[in-house]
Structure 1
Amino acid sequence: MLNGFKMFRRSFSQYRCLRSQSKNPFKRTWGILAEEFPIMLGLNKKPQHYPEHADVVIIGGGFIGSSVAYWLKTKASHGLSVVVIEKDLTYAAVQKNITLGSLTQHFSLPENIYLSQHSAEFLRNSKEYLGPNVDLKYTPSGHLLLACEEHAEKLEQNVGIQREFGIRNELLSPKEIKSKFPWINTEDIKLGCVGYESEGSFDSWALLRGLVQKSIDMGTTYIQADVTGFELEQQRDVLMEGVKPGSFQRINKVLYRTPDNEEYAIKFAACILAAGHESSQVAQLAKIGNGEGLLTIPLPIEKRECNVYSIENSAKSTGLNTPLMMDTSGVWLKKGGLGSDLLCGAIPVLSPSATGLTAEDHVEQIIKPSLVNRIPQFQKAKVTSIASETNDYCHYDDSGILGPHSYHNNLYIAAGFGKQGCQHASGIGRAIAELIIDGQYVSVDFTRLGFDRFLTDSPLIEFNVY
């Protein structure tokens, strides 16, 4: 492994020398923005040429991929050439995920707490990072977690961990919950926790636009294309544990196809895989999951979909201080801006097919009963599906994957963070940039989130969900 790393560092140095038509206002607004996005950034124009070499190639130009580009250019400026390959520069898929802009500190893993703390600082000071014209509309608000008898002890443990990291929150008895939020039924509640700092909502679309624009301004090249494969180079002098001597192959080129059906290749020193739920399929192109030895283990990332619902004319029932609330059932509730409706949904802990429920059954058997149980005033409320969101999840332990692959040590993975990928993007980007430029984590050690945990069967469980 050490020899492989030295070879990578040496080669890296050498390279441096070389509209939705829905009536729903959320869908309509995001659809318009998605269409205008490439025009505003000048991304709708075909590049005059496609680069043949780059120090770093990033596969995926979403929140995480663009954050990686931003931090690489921030740390190295013009000393590093960065290319982002994104299959859809209209970001049509992003516009469907209307609930991404939430910031919370309710985590049990130190890694997630560190990432959320960094996110809070980044969002509060976004104009300093991304420019004076970027307005993320960050709005502080509380986040209320409810626990039944079964999960009360775990909630207390989580709060203890959070306080060790300086997070301000308060444990609430059922009586105290009822006093603060009279509309909540607390009969089956054992304990609650509400946060007071670094929690709230922000404009996720403005964040993505700001990251992309700033990255481009600093010299990042964005290319709209589909990745079709990798080229591997035999390196007989590399010795690695678990790899037959003389058989090691390093990926050194990524192949891609543009919308015009033109095929190109770009040679790189380092590659970042941040392709969301498609990361597993892209990884297979580098023999991850279909190779031998260390390559037999696939990248355990899958697509999970969940619906977002609007509870019509319900905001008056809960009032202006309505927090982002996570119920014991896994159903969440939040304000839908300044309108009269509230938004709700459920944690996508399983793929839709695994539940065996149709969309209608999911509403009638999970969403509505949970809402009515927690907020009896919603007995006659109309619950309408307004969006279907898609996210990437690590089905091994539901924690994100961050760091170099165990075999391809010049391939860095930044995926599988689910809905938290938007919130955590700035910290993830900084961490990858440190690995590339400094050769190690500098700010925070995220080693436990690496691919090696699959080899050693060491799941990393986040206990902030039920």
Structure 2
Amino acid sequence: MNSGQGYRLADRARYSSQTSTSALPKSADIVIIGGGIIGTLAAVYLANRIPGSSMCIIERDLSYTYASTVLSAGSLRVQYSIPENIYMSVESFKFLKDIGTHLQVEGDDPPDIQLIEKGFLFLAPEKMVPLITTYKGIHEKLGIPTEILQPSEIKERYPWLNLDDIVLGSYGCDYEAMFDPWAYLMCAKKKAQSMGVRYIEAEVKGMERNGNRIDNVSVVTTQGERATINCGSVINAAGAWSSGVAKLAGIGAEGAPPDLKTPLPVEPFARYGYVFECRDGPVDTPAVVVDGVTGVAFRRETSGLFAASAIQASRKFYYLMRSGKDKDSSKLEVDYDFFDEGVWPGLATRCDAFNGLKLVSAWAGYYEINTLDNNAIIGPHPAIPNFYFSTGYSGHGLQHSPAAGRAISELILDGKFTTMDLSKFSFDRIIRNEPYKELAMI
């Protein structure tokens, strides 16, 4: 589900050449590991508050070929099960709707991420009714407008849906949308660079710890140049690869002392997106239809084109996670059999016209799954107070990136959350093995 795929591929080489740098800094106030949207917006928020500070982002592939950001669904929803994720969605929606204020670069055209405000439609079988009604109660308490719809009401709005096995629907009335993830990342990156943030195409190879602090980060560029960057703080925003970055800081590494022995429980899991043509397909659609029976999510892209994938709550997704695919991103390939066996049948069940669809393209990427509870990990490691996590978003990092960027900037500069309390997302719960689960996963 990615509306930016076409021109993203054409522009990769150009953007990579513009942002690679050979003059490596010897020091930086803040080093951010991971140049996707999470790391980039952290830099934007920090640079806004401490202009003139030295900040660099280490990204191993500035073409973003396998980056989760640009291979994501490009959508935002408020229909979550815990208050923190709901609040993050609301704040992020407001940021995206007013993106010109936040990411405008002087002298440039206004940023355009092709934002389309539309709600998600969740379709629930009998077993999901308690969850849907519980979510509704949470939303009402927080003042978030969502609708519980009977099958007859859904059918009136979307007559093309087959609903014989559906008991309830849930529709987001506000704070939900679709947008172009590539355009979003490029706007944010350009803003960060205009504020003095340096992007370095390199891989982190090590970190030196002095007592309870990270003193420096060692990198090797794609050209083979080596450098050691002294730093005041480090942010681990490496997404699906953030567990390996944590080990470089000694967290969860072999022989780690007791205060560092708990590893970061973030792993890369393969996900596939499929684009198909269906000229007789529906025109008036929600932003995304999330099917709790078939385990498939789909949306309309452009005239006659649709995108689909398996949802995390389904058996299909867990088959996908355990399918034995190599976790080396350079070897990740689309599983076309999975579409035929696991996705297409669900699409055809829900919409008759999809029986005649034609698969036209597909892509493969990674979710950064927090295997403890499918939720973000935001904040410092308790034993290394200048090493910060912003990772583990488990499929909702892109949509929560503005709120995440603000949150990590507050922790670094204020020592606490000041806008919204996200303390339940701290690494402390990982050490205590106390999950704080998000149940409404896609």
* Alignment TM-score > 0.5, same fold: yes
**Do the aligned partners of 2:75 and 2:178 also contact (CA within 8 Å) in 1?**
yes
Q: Give the structure 2 partner of residue 401 of structure 1.
A: 377
- Structure 2: any 5+ residue segments left out of the alignment? 326-333
- Pick from 21, 46, 53 the counterpart of residue 27 of structure 2: 53
Q: Give the structure 1 partner of residue 91 of structure 2.
A: 118
Matches within 5 A, 1:236-315: 249-290=212-253, 291-314=256-279
C-alpha distance in structure 2 between counterparts of 1:428 and 1:95, whole Å: 16
Q: Give the structure 1 partner of residue 116 of structure 2.
A: 139
Is 1:366 matched with 2:329?
no
Q: Give the structure 1 partner of residue 318 of structure 2.
A: 350
**Do the aligned partners of 1:67 and 1:211 also contact (CA within 8 Å) in 2?**
yes
User: CA shift at 1:213, angstroms?
Assistant: 1.2
Q: Give the structure 2 partner of residue 84 of structure 1.
A: 57
Matches within 5 A, 1:411-430: 411-430=387-406
* 3-state SS, counterpart of residue 152 of structure 2: helix
C-alpha distance in structure 1 between counterparts of 2:111 and 2:70, whole Å: 20
User: CA shift at 1:212, angstroms?
Assistant: 1.2
Is 1:318 matched with 2:282?
yes
C-alpha distance in structure 2 between counterparts of 1:274 and 1:63, whole Å: 9
User: CA shift at 1:226, angstroms?
Assistant: 0.6
Amino acid at match of 1:68: A
**Number of residues of Structure 1 aligned to a counterpart in Structure 2:** 422
**Do the aligned partners of 2:70 and 2:181 also contact (CA within 8 Å) in 1?**
no
- Structure 1: any 5+ residue segments left out of the alignment? 1-23, 235-248
User: CA shift at 1:164, angstroms?
Assistant: 2.1
Is 1:434 matched with 2:407?
no
User: CA shift at 1:27, angstroms?
Assistant: 4.4
* Deviating more after overlay: 272-281 vs 89-98: 89-98
1:276-304: CA deviations, max 9, x gaps? 11110111111111212021111111111
Aligned-residue RMSD, C-alpha:
2.2
- CA 1:356 to 1:366, structure 2 compared with 1: closer, same or farther past 3 Å? farther
1:187-211: CA deviations, max 9, x gaps? 1111101112121111211211111
Matches within 5 A, 1:109-188: 109-131=82-104, 132-188=109-165
**Do the aligned partners of 1:58 and 1:271 also contact (CA within 8 Å) in 2?**
yes
C-alpha distance in structure 2 between counterparts of 1:201 and 1:397, whole Å: 26
Is 1:32 matched with 2:10?
yes
* 3-state SS, counterpart of residue 35 of structure 2: coil
Q: Give the structure 1 partner of residue 431 of structure 2.
A: 455
What TM-score do you get using the length of structure 2 for normalisation? 0.90
User: CA shift at 1:98, angstroms?
Assistant: 4.2
C-alpha distance in structure 2 between counterparts of 1:355 and 1:154, whole Å: 29
1:363-418: CA deviations, max 9, x gaps? 23321221122113322323455111222111111112111112211110001113
- CA 1:260 to 1:97, structure 2 compared with 1: closer, same or farther past 3 Å? closer
Amino acid at match of 1:334: R
C-alpha distance in structure 2 between counterparts of 1:299 and 1:99, whole Å: 23
Amino acid at match of 1:113: I
Q: Give the structure 2 partner of residue 197 of structure 1.
A: 174
Is 1:209 matched with 2:176?
no
Q: Give the structure 2 partner of residue 340 of structure 1.
A: 304
Matches within 5 A, 1:217-232: 217-232=194-209
User: CA shift at 1:355, angstroms?
Assistant: 4.6
**Do the aligned partners of 2:120 and 2:286 also contact (CA within 8 Å) in 1?**
no
What TM-score do you get using the length of structure 1 for normalisation? 0.86
**Do the aligned partners of 1:253 and 1:265 also contact (CA within 8 Å) in 2?**
yes
* 3-state SS, counterpart of residue 428 of structure 1: helix
